[in-house]
Amino acid sequence: MNYTKDDLLKLFHGKRTALFYYIAGFVDGEGSFSVAIIKNPFKEGWLINPCFQVYQHQKHREILELCQEVFKTGSIYRKSGVHPVLNFSINSMRNIKERVLPFFDKYPLVTKRDAYQKFREVVFALDRKEHLTSKGFERLVRIAYSMNQQGKGRRRTLEEVLASQPKPASESSETLRRTSA
Amino acid sequence: MNYTKDDLLKLFHGKRTALFYYIAGFVDGEGSFSVAIIKNPFKEGWLINPCFQVYQHQKHREILELCQEVFKTGSIYRKSGVHPVLNFSINSMRNIKERVLPFFDKYPLVTKRDAYQKFREVVFALDRKEHLTSKGFERLVRIAYSMNQQGKGRRRTLEEVLASQPKPASESSETLRRTSA
């Protein structure tokens, strides 16, 4: 049987706090906080992109819709690959700052607590434009690579990313800029 | 960083209800409700064994200890196989009836809701000794095989189990008995 998002909200008897603690637990199982380091498609350098995701088999799309309801944002799309898995994703800096961080600062994570703290640190540092200096950029990339099994599964090694960092003429020039902020 | 069970309890500010909703969410991601059908090692026939489990990588043993704290029972052991995964498991009928069912009747599951309802039905039917008649046994095996991806991954087909069921002289004789009740 499939439940609609409204059926699910009823399970929590209209108690949104109960639903929020449930969602924190579910994210601890099926969610991910990651920081992608991707090549800037328009110029030399890299983009540092934080992303919050929740995965689920497509037969339980309703739980991802419940996440949309809770965070009041986020897209659901089919993940590439053979398995019929859906992905709920929030990757805009604004939504991460306004919806994701305040939520998990209040409703606690357990197994993903460390990953979340690093994710949070990267988001705030990007907001302070720390990534625009070589030193700041390196610090954030190192944090990103220390998350989620120490960079396992990343296309490039930490050394490759740091080696091909453009050397800014002035440390304050914006050689690295995020596009999705 | 590793958190102790006490650190984790503090995250919920002593609000046990908050912790319980969190655990429901976590189980929806990483838990399983299953009904094993295994050969009776002592005589002809089968045993119907419900089991509630939660899996986690060994680096987060603390979340399974938190489950032990919540359910006030359950064992944690290393799962066989190459991956360093731990398993928190409750399989005694008594503990399932007294600890697991009252918990999930109160704190709702979403993605595992259907599996849980079937699990619950099997537990109550075993308690009523419905499995001691051929008809009851068949009904429970069919429910078990309809759970968790329709019996995928089971060693024996549904037909094999039903075909080798001993025919009781009297339908009321205890030809099939659970050992772990």
Cross-strand partners of B50: B35
Structure tokens at A29: 């199982």
Residue B181 lies in a domain: no
| Percent of chain A residues topping a pLDDT of 70 | 89
Do the domain assignments include residue A131? yes
User: Structural domain of residue B64, as residue ranges?
Assistant: 5-170
Domain CATH number, residue B71: 3.10.28.10
Whether residue B176 is contained in a domain is answered as no
The answer to whether residue A178 sits within a structural domain is no
Query: Number of residue pairs across A and B with CB atoms under 8 Å?
Result: 82
Q: Report CB contact under 8 Å: B110, A60.
A: yes
Model confidence pLDDT, tens digit, residues A95-132: 999 999 999 999 999 999 999 999 999 999 999 999 99
**Is A110 part of any domain?**
yes
Distance CA B5, CA A120 (A): 24
State which amino acid sits at residue A178: R
Per-residue pLDDT band for B49 (boundaries 50, 70, 90) equals very high
Q: Say whether B22 and A18 touch across the interface (CB within 8 A).
A: no
Band the pLDDT of B167: cuts 50, 70, 90.
Answer: low
Percent with pLDDT over 90 in chain B: 64
Q: What is the ipTM, given to two decimal places?
A: 0.84
pLDDT at B81 over 90: no
**Looking at A22-36, B34-48, B154-168, which range is the least confident one?**
B154-168
Number of domains composing chain A: 1
Host H or E run for residue B34: strand B31-39
Residue at A134 is within a domain: yes
pLDDT digits (tens, 9 = 90+) for B110-166: 999 999 999 999 999 999 999 999 999 999 999 999 997 766 778 888 888 888 776
Distance CA B100, CA B94 (A): 10
**Strand spans (E) along chain A:** 31-39, 46-57, 75-78, 85-90
Alpha helices in chain A (DSSP H): 5-11, 16-30, 61-71, 93-95, 101-106, 113-127, 134-150, 158-163
Which of A7-11, A125-129, A152-156, B170-174 has the weakest average pLDDT? B170-174
Residue B177 lies in a domain: no
pTM for the predicted model, two decimal places: 0.86
Contact criterion met (CB below 8 Å) for A26 and A112: no
How far is Cα of residue B58 from the mean position of the Cα atoms in its chain? Answer: 21
Domain annotation covers residue B141: yes
CA nearest to A45, candidates A136, A164, A147: A164
Q: Extract the runs of DSSP E, i.e. beta strands, from chain B.
A: 31-39, 46-57, 75-78, 85-90
Binned at pLDDT 50, 70 and 90, residue A4 comes out as confident
User: Would you list which residues of chain B are within 8 Å, Cβ to Cβ, of chain A?
Assistant: 1, 3, 8, 11-12, 17-19, 21-30, 56, 60, 62-63, 66, 107-108, 110-111, 113-114
Distance of alpha carbon A137 from the chain centroid: 18
Work out the number of other CB atoms within 10 angstroms of the CB of residue B16: 11
CB contact under 8 A, A23 and B24: no
Judged by DSSP in three states, B23 sits in: helix
